[in-house]
Chains A and B, each alone.
Chain A
Amino acid sequence: MVSFIQDVTHFLEDYSKFVLRDDLFVGELKRGVDGVFVVASPSIEPDKETGIEYYSLDFWSRNIDTGDGFADLDIIYEFFDRRHHYRTDNWFIHFSHCGTQVQDMDRDQEGAKLLKLAVEFIVNKQNAIS
């Protein structure tokens, strides 16, 4: 079973300019590489009655060019915010929305800009109902 974070990242790669392991990474940080890094963030418990699950993913951008960093997260913002009723390979996403605007997380020691965007997902597993 592919984890939700992997599934969503593949979905983003399929329908956007990002290329996995080139400028899009899951759960790992590549030093000195400009790109977007996706990490799971704490989220609320699944619904006891419906089985609906809630996921929160953080999209971190690290980029020497601040404008490019904002542009990357703007793409992700537009891609996920208020999007509803769509499928990834293993999940049905009822609704996704951005929990925040793009947040300035200062710079790393190399002077590259660090930005973060939190996206919330309300989902079911595709095979949850038979």
Chain B
Amino acid sequence: MSGRVRVVNRLNVFSGLLEAAMERALDKMGTDIYMMSQFKVPLKGGGLRSTGRKERMARLRRRVSYGGAYAEYQHRGMRRDGSHVVRRYTSSGTGKGYLSDSGDKIAKKATAYFKAEADSVRM
């Protein structure tokens, strides 16, 4: 008596669903970094604040950025050579490091974002 054993797996389907879940996790992290940075970005006139962007750069890659002439200067709080230190912000509660601080805070919770989305994968 002979028989055949056939193993069927759906790993290719699973990997596709998992990748979509990871994309959503990154999207949510990007949205949260953007939101938190909006609470902190220097506000005078609102020009810098309105340049905030969250973009999908490529597969599993996102970018949150601010543009405008003074984005980098304001983020550093001084010129690259250490001169012209910003000592007073027109809106209280805003200041340098508005983007990196937000990114660091969300990055600490990265595992929770990925776990939540991975848990949502159903076959």
Contacts and interface: CB of A to CB of B under 8 A. Distances in A.
Interface of A: 29, 31-32, 37, 39, 41-44, 58, 60, 62, 99-100, 105-106, 108-112, 114, 116
Contact of A42 (B27, B35, B94): B27
Contacts, number: 55
B28 A29 contact: no
Contact of A114 (B28, B39, B116): B39
B91 A31 contact: yes
Contacts of A100: 116
Contacts of A39: 31, 35
Contact of B38 (A29, A41, A110): A29
Interface of A is mostly: loop
Interface string B99-120: 0000001000000000010001
Interface of B: 20, 23-24, 27-28, 31-32, 35-36, 38-40, 43, 91-95, 105, 116, 120
A110 B92 CA distance: 7
B93 A110 contact: yes
13 contacts: A31-B93, A32-B91, A37-B35, A42-B24, A42-B27, A42-B28, A43-B24, A105-B105, A108-B36, A109-B92, A109-B93, A110-B93, A112-B93
Contact of B105 (A29, A31, A43, A106): A106
B28 A109 contact: no
A50 to B, nearest CB: 16
Given A99-B116, A109-B93, A109-B95, A29 B31 contact: no
Contacts of B35: 29, 37, 39, 58, 60
Given A100-B116, A109-B94, A44 B39 contact: no
B21 to A, nearest CB: 9
Contact of B31 (A41, A44, A110, A114): A41
B19 to A, nearest CB: 13
Given A31-B43, A109-B40, 10 more contacts: A37-B35, A44-B120, A58-B32, A100-B116, A105-B36, A108-B36, A109-B39, A109-B92, A111-B93, A116-B32
B31 A32 contact: no
